[in-house]
Amino acid sequence: MSYPLTEEQRLIGQSASEFAKESLDTIAVDLDRTGNFPKAEIEALAGYDFLGLLLTAEAGGAEAGFISYVTVVEIIARSCPAVASIVNNHVLAAYAIQKWGSKEQKQQYLPAFAKGELLGTVAACESGPAGIPNPGTLVATRQGDGFVLKGTKNFVKSAGEAGVYVVFATTDLTTKPIGITAFIVDARTPGLKVGAKQDTMGLRGCPVADLDFDNVFVPESTVLGLANEGAAIVGETLAVASVAEAAQTVGIVQAALEHAAAYSKQRIQFGKPIGSFQAIQSLLANVAANCYAARLAVFDAAAAIEQGEPFLAEAAMVKLLAIHLGQKSLIDVIQVEGGYGYSEEMPLARLYRDVAGTTVRDSPADFPEGLIATEIA
Amino acid sequence: MQLTGAQLHLQALAREFTAAHIIPVALELDRKAEFPLWVVNEAKKARLLCMAVPKKFGGNEYDSVTQSLVVEELAYGCAAFATTLSGNGLSSYPLLIAGTDEQRSLYFTPIVEGGLGAFALTEPGAGSDAGACKTTAKRVGDEYVLNGVKCFCTNGSYAKVFVIFASTDLDKGVKGLSAFVVERERAGLSVGSVEHKLGIRSSNTIELLLKEVRIPADHLLGNEGDGMKIAMKTLDMARPIVASIGVGIARRALDECLKCVRAGRPGQMVQFTLADMEIQIEASRTLVRHALSLKEAGLPYSKESAVAKTFATDAAMHVCAAAQQLLGSSALSSGSIVQKLLRDAKILQIYEGTNEIQRIVIAGQLLREEAAKNAASAAGR
Amino acid sequence: MPKCLVCYKWTLDEQDIKVKPEDLSLDSSRAKGKISDFDRNAIEEATLIVEKNGGAIDALSYGAPSVKQSLKDVLSRGPEKVYWIGDSSAESADAKVTASVLAAAIRKLGQYDLIVCGEGSSDLFNQQTAPRLAALLGLPCLSFVQKLTLDGNFVKATRNLGDCLEVVTIKTPAVISVLSEINKPRIPSLKQVLGAAKKPNEEIKIADLGLKAEEIQPKAVRKSVKGFVMQRKNVIYKESSAADNVAKLKVSLVSEGLC
């Protein structure tokens, strides 16, 4: 890739690669098998400043910018996609608090986030098929000097391990658009229940569970940004998440591509390495081309985020590209390895399961196509 | 294509069977990768086993459309179960193609009694290149001695009888391949490793080890060197069945989506996704029926068979991916059948000849037909 | 509080070099630069010494103009300042020229307690730079070092000589060359990477070093570099019994001197 990375960005990627080779390549298979939380690896990532990558120096972060971030995410995802999920959700929560948090909130959470002493995550998902509203939406009602939260957030990544949840709740269903408020909810808040850990098809090292709010009281001080004006926060946070998750998808596809390409050079059938057959070359080439394009789109959106330029439409386009890339690529790449590609003794089966978790739409309302179409009109 | 009363009856039977015996346990058996031995017995009782075996030998001798209907229903419940139960069909076809009555009796008797059969062609070095088989069958007196390793053999751990492909003349390459009937009890035949698979996990897929396995010479199907022809004809018969598994999976994926969306008012994108799924399913089924109608009429159908397999299995994969997109994260937790469908669908594009090989078969046929046309018109001038 | 200097080489990452099958020539077009492997150990060792004993580290490199790409990489690993000589003469330089240039630069930079190098470079592995440097500077040289401790003015080194280990103590200043076993270079943290931009670098022009013409004339001239492709013997033993095959294999292995 000739994308003009600065030397720092390149060196940050180098450190990430070395870390991934040393500490993540070796755990990926076991993590998938056991579903255990990779505590040691997350702590190590904090030690190298990866968890505080986007945070200001004042907060103890590295202030390395979003382009460095997507570089790192792709590299981590190439080695261990589940770890990339955990990191993405943590960094996303950090981003939200850094951008919209009050001075007190920033002081309370960001240094601990940077050091990895506190794990954060964003609870954005609500279950239900695309395009169909979910009645289980989290609702926040004013009460005294705070709010009472009632409802459920689904498929919350890092649920149970996170110490802090950035959560979006509806506060006014009467207005158009509906009023949303973002909250920073401490995991120990009374009444907050983490549901049973889900057994997911892939990304198994990243715990997933529902978050149940059974009339949970949260004080005013937990409001992130302004009450009832959280729609913009949701939009931007999910847009940033799209770009970060797309970088993860690109990493998974790249890893699968490299494995299949290497296999195609070794596997001899009809007297030749199968990599010399046009059908195989075409398969690999198309995946490579799509991966290349998606990566550049990720970088462009990352640059927009870093430079403070508008990026919502770009992020939505990146999301669409990543969905197509993720779904199609692993289906095609497994073909190259045939029956062996289908075996769980080889990595492609696991990557096939992992990539599916990066190509989901967050909620019934998640319709990037609509956002894009509106922007380009 | 209209179905006859008998065909509709068996389709309904298969649907009931699936609802009663397969759907309730499919997810759990997949999770545990547990082989459903008992379902073979249930299928026998319901007369859904031995579908290809002639009545003369105690089988059901259903026509191929009926077989495809049944398999589609079984696959609707679980592709692994469908693979297991149609493994009998796959391994029965060589006997129908090239077996003598004695050989047929030898093979079909245990199957009709409720046992399983297994087809062993693939080897570690012979996947798409089936002719690269290294397993040998050496003629010694009035026996053949088999040595080698087979892999990706469905039902191998449980099969009572096998059709095993081995070379009677390595120097002849593809033309040296021969097919043999081998009973499980033969000394030297053993199960090696068991495959841990991405999907169809309750289906048994194994490595078959052959060490000095002696079989009577009359266990050779057809003549020495007929192996490839037998294998190819077998695959022609089997491909529409695999295509039917694809149709079953795709239908299930669509139904799961419909179940989820019917409560609300699905937006246009959801509607279009459902429509596209239906288009793929209908087209797939039509291709299967078309290929089978040619077969039943005794007409050549290799190309149509490959077309049906390719289209229906690619369609199943795309329909499952679309279902995953539509249903979101809930599709990915182990309690959802959709994540299983997503994993099961993938193998269909690979086994019974990868879809790349299918395209070689189809293109080969087209080019031969074109060449024949040219030769004919040149001759006519 | 030792003043350390680490000499490093900016080489191509051999992983990305492709050998063209037609003529075994090398395609380095996709190869990126890296700090030579053992030099990383040298930098890490100096860093560990300074972390323990105080002091500071300078880095020095003589290479092609592309050596400029190495500066932040080096500065993110411990050194406080990097001096660099980027000159096309480096592309054809042999060990004699390299040592002459480095020695001349070091004479300009001043006194160091320890001058640390990697035992050999990733690409040529001549293993001559450190001893030649020491000779030119009139300093003692400890090579093949797998363990190093500094105690005041004395440095104690364990040298791995292949069939034995030798422990030597000498008085600084000294030139040391290290083996990869000596340490495991730590991965630079993001803050270290970003902090590198704040550290100084200084270019030294080769013309300013006052070297005589013959000092920078290589004695060994590289005519061509070809890739090496392992030729397999591809012998198959096809005797009817396994015992016969094993016997033949044994004879073959013995005749090749392998056992």
From A21, which residue of chain C is nearest by alpha-carbon distance? Answer: C187
Mean pLDDT, 10 residues at a time, over chain B (381 residues)?
91 97 96 93 91 93 94 98 91 95 96 93 92 94 97 96 96 95 97 96 97 97 96 94 98 96 84 97 97 94 97 98 92 95 98 95 95 87 69
Whether residue C103 contacts residue C141, with contact meaning beta carbons closer than 8 Å, is answered with no
pLDDT band at residue A133 using 50, 70 and 90 as cut-offs: low
CB–CB contacts below 8 A, A to B: 142
From A124, which residue of chain B is nearest by alpha-carbon distance? Answer: B329
Does the CB of A270 have a partner CB in chain B at under 8 Å? yes
Contacts of C191 in chain A (CB under 8 A): 49, 62
Q: For B182, list phi and psi in degrees, rounded to 5.
A: -130, 125
Specify whether B72 is catalytic.
Answer: no
Predicted pLDDT of residue B164 = 97
Q: Give the distance, in angstroms, between the CA of residue A322 and the centroid of all CA atoms in the same chain.
A: 12
pLDDT band at residue A135 using 50, 70 and 90 as cut-offs: low
> What is the Cα–Cα distance from B345 to B353, expressed in whole angstroms?
15
Helix, strand or coil, per DSSP, at residue A26: coil
Does the CB of A11 have a partner CB in chain C at under 8 Å? yes
Predicted pLDDT of residue C230 = 78
Task: Name the residue type at position B20.
Answer: A
The per-residue pLDDT for range B59-109, each reduced to its tens digit, is 999 999 999 999 999 999 999 999 999 888 889 999 999 999 999 999 999
CB neighbours of residue A281 within 10 Å: 15
**Pick the residue with more confidence: A2 or A132?**
A2
Predicted pLDDT of residue C235 = 83
The per-residue pLDDT for range A163-217, each reduced to its tens digit, is 999 999 998 878 777 889 999 999 999 999 999 999 999 999 999 999 999 999 9
Model-level ipTM above the cut of 0.85: yes
Under an 8 Å CB criterion, which residues of C touch A?
69, 72-73, 76, 187-191, 193-194, 196-197
Asked if A19's CB is within 8 angstroms of C193's CB, the reply is no
Asked if B196's CB is within 8 angstroms of A343's CB, the reply is yes
Strand partners, B220: B180
The predicted model gives A277-294 an average pLDDT of 97
Residues 6+ apart with CB under 8 A from C74: C8, C35, C43, C59, C61, C82, C196
**Pick the residue with more confidence: B109 or A135?**
B109
> What is the Cα–Cα distance from C29 to C14, expressed in whole angstroms?
11
Q: What is the least distance, in Å, from the CA of A168 to any CA of chain B?
A: 18
pLDDT of A132 strictly over 60: no
Contacts of C190 in chain A (CB under 8 A): 12, 15, 48-50, 53, 62, 64, 68
Whether residue B108 contacts residue B53, with contact meaning beta carbons closer than 8 Å, is answered with yes
Question: Within chain C, which residues score under 50 in pLDDT?
Answer: none
From A56, which residue of chain C is nearest by alpha-carbon distance? Answer: C191
Q: Where are the alpha helices (DSSP H) in C61-155?
A: 71-75, 95-109, 129-137
Asked if A18's CB is within 8 angstroms of C187's CB, the reply is yes
> What is the Cα–Cα distance from B307 to B243, expressed in whole angstroms?
9
- Sign of the torsion angle spanned by Cα atoms C8, C11, C14, C15: positive
Does the CB of A128 have a partner CB in chain B at under 8 Å? yes
H-helix or E-strand spanning residue A280:
helix A278-306
**Domains along chain B with CATH numbers:** 5-116 (1.10.540.10), 117-225 (2.40.110.10), 228-371 (1.20.140.10)
